[in-house]
Amino acid sequence: MIRFFGHILTSLGSKVLIALSGLALVVFVVFHMLGNLQVFQGPDALNSYAAFLRDMPMALWSARLTLLGIVAVHIGLSVRLAIQNRRARPAGYVTHRYRRASLASRTMAFTGSLLVLFIVFHLLHLTAGVVDPSVHNRLDFRGHRDVFGNVVHAFQNPALVVIYLIGQVALGFHLSHALSGSLQSLGLEHPMLDRLFRGAGLLVAMLVVVGNAAIVLAIAFGLVRA
């Protein structure tokens, strides 16, 4: 056990865990988006989906706690590794030349920080109902919590629309490098593979952002109504 944690504390061990936790979060984000797309099927579909998840409290809370642990590992080790790298070269370079690094890869720390703030806001808003409790506990005609009505109510507010779209921009930049960066950290490096991974990362990012933004904009423009 001591040897295991010793490997984790090394730079290589931290990179591997960051990569694995990052890939797990990419999978979650994709499935989360697919579940939310049920808003286009109407209130019954989305509310029934939410009720199905709540009817399995043990599984739901186990998944939530596991996800929280993955997020904590990903953020904690990323911050620790960034601090170690900065301490290793305390004097900044006179000039910075980014030849192959993309904008997404150079802004991972910034977009990651934005995402943390956005996730906290999102949980307080739509999960806990702290931001707008007025419709949080409203029920539909079947007695299910009216998640559909809550979402539609939220994105009729222009300020919330802007906040969520900014969150999607940060998510898109972070995701576009997360997939390729994680796979490279696991040792899957080759010129052909690098191009494939970068393309896959960009494609996944675009699909997630377009899917999530479509929900927000469809409601904002009245295409989806309660």
What percentage of the chain exceeds 70 in pLDDT? 89
Q: What are phi and psi of 125, to 5 degrees?
A: -80, -65
121 in any annotated domain: yes
Alpha carbon separation from 137 to 58, 121, 132, 134, 148 (Å, rounded): 21, 18, 11, 8, 12
User: Rounded to two decimals, what is the model's pTM?
Assistant: 0.86
95 in any annotated domain: no
| Model pLDDT, residue 159 | 97
225 in any annotated domain: no
Helix, strand, coil shares, percent, the chain, to 5: 75, 0, 25
Inform me whether the pLDDT recorded for 120 exceeds 70: yes
Q: How many structural domains are present in the chain?
A: 1
Compare 142 and 85 and report the one with higher pLDDT.
142
| Model pLDDT, residue 189 | 67
63 in any annotated domain: yes
For residue range 83-99, what is the model confidence (pLDDT) as tens digits?
887 777 655 544 445 45
User: What value does the mean pLDDT of the chain take?
Assistant: 86
| Model pLDDT, residue 102 | 75
Inform me whether the pLDDT recorded for 8 exceeds 50: yes
226 in any annotated domain: no
CATH code of the domain in which 141 resides: 1.20.1300
| Model pLDDT, residue 49 | 93
pLDDT class for 221, splitting at 50, 70, 90? very high
Interatomic CA distance for residues 178 and 182, integer angstroms? 6
CB-neighbour burial class of residue 67 (10 A; exposed 0-12, middle 13-18, buried 19+): middle
For residue range 107-117, what is the model confidence (pLDDT) as tens digits?
888 999 999 99
Inform me whether the pLDDT recorded for 171 exceeds 60: yes
**Nearest C-alpha neighbor of 166 from the set 199, 124, 207, 212:** 212
| 146 in Cβ contact with 197 (< 8 Å) | no
Range of the structural domain that residue 110 is part of: 2-86+102-220
For residue range 184-209, what is the model confidence (pLDDT) as tens digits?
777 776 677 778 888 888 999 999 99
91 in any annotated domain: no
| Model pLDDT, residue 94 | 47
92 in any annotated domain: no
216 in any annotated domain: yes
